[in-house]
Amino acid sequence: MKIGPEQLERLRFLARVVQREQQHLLTTDQRVFNKPFTPARSRDLAENVDEAERVEAFVSRFGRLQDTLGDKLLPLYLEALGEHLGAAIDNLDRAEKLGLIPSSDDWLAMRKLRNQMVHEYIEDSATLADALQAGHEFVPTLTAVVKAFLNDMRTRGWLTA
Residue 136 lies in a domain: yes
Kindly indicate the confidence band of residue 119, based on its pLDDT and cuts at 50, 70 and 90: low
Q: What is the mean pLDDT of residues 17-40?
A: 96
User: Closest by alpha carbon to 137, among 37, 45, 50, 43?
Assistant: 37
Higher-pLDDT residue of 113 and 116 is 113
pLDDT at 29 over 70: yes
pLDDT at 122 over 70: no
**Exposure letters 92-119 (e unless 16+ CB within 10 A, then b):** bbbbbebebbeebeebeebbebbebbbe
Cα gap 49→134, rounded to integer Å? 22
Give residue-wise pLDDT tens across range 65-83.
999 999 999 999 999 999 9
Per the CB < 8 A criterion, the answer to whether 15 and 74 are in contact is: no
Residue 72 lies in a domain: yes
Q: What is the mean pLDDT of residues 12-18?
A: 97
Residue 161 lies in a domain: no
Number of domains in the chain: 1
Range(s) of the domain holding residue 59:
5-155
CATH of the domain at 74: 1.20.120
Residue 160 lies in a domain: no
What's this model's pTM, rounded to 2 decimal places? 0.93
Residue 123 lies in a domain: yes
pLDDT of residue 114: 85
Per the CB < 8 A criterion, the answer to whether 150 and 19 are in contact is: yes
Per the CB < 8 A criterion, the answer to whether 132 and 32 are in contact is: yes
3-state class percentages of the chain: helix first, strand second, coil last, to nearest 5:
80, 0, 20
pLDDT of residue 3: 85
Give residue-wise pLDDT tens across range 140-155.
999 999 999 999 999 9
Kindly indicate the confidence band of residue 21, based on its pLDDT and cuts at 50, 70 and 90: very high
End-to-end CA distance of the chain: 21
pLDDT of residue 23: 98
